[in-house]
Amino acid sequence: MSADAGGERNRPIRCLIAKVGLDGHDRGAHVIARAFRDAGFEVVYSGLHRAPEEIVQAAVQEDVDVLGISILSGAHNTLVPKIVEGLKEYGAFTDTLLIVGGIIPEEDRDGLREMGVAAIFGPGTPMQETVDFVRENAPARTDDPA
Partner 1 sequence: MTDPSHDSSPAADLDPEVADRNRRLVAALLDGEHRALARVISRIEDRAPGHRDLVSRLHPHTGTAAVIGITGSPGAGKSTLVDKLAAAYRDRGETVGVVAVDPASPYSGGSVLGDRIRMAATVGDMDVFVRSMSARGRLGGLSTATTDAVHALDAFGKDVVLVETVGAGQNEVDIVRTADTVAVVVQPGSGDDIQMLKAGILEIGDVFAVNKADMDGVDRLIAELEEMLHRRDGDGAGAGSAAGHHGPGAAPGDTDPTAPADSDSGAPEWEPRVVTTVATAGEGIDDLVDAFDAHAAYLRASGAGTERARSRHAAEIRRLVREDANVLLDAEIRRRGGLDALADRVLAGETDPYTVASEILDPIADCVDAAGEDAATDGDDPSALGDE
Q: Cα–Cα distances in Å, from 21 out to 12, 13, 73, 77, 78?
A: 28, 26, 8, 12, 10
5 binds partner 1 (CB under 8 A): yes
Measured between alpha carbons, how far is 82 from 56 in angstroms, rounded to an integer?
Answer: 9
Measured between alpha carbons, how far is 45 from 68 in angstroms, rounded to an integer?
Answer: 10
Q: Which stretch binds partner 1 (CB under 8 A): 86-94, 97-105, 109-117, 118-126?
A: 86-94
From the CB of 106, what's the least distance to partner 1, in Å? 31
Outline where DSSP puts E strands in 12-93: 14-19, 42-45, 66-71
With CB under 8 A, what is the number of residues at the site for partner 1? 43
Which of 25, 54, 73, 82 is close enough to bind partner 1 by CB under 8 A?
54
Residues of the shown chain interacting with partner 1 in the complex, contacts defined by CB under 8 A: 1-7, 9-12, 14, 33-34, 36-47, 50-51, 53-54, 57-58, 60-63, 90-92, 143-146
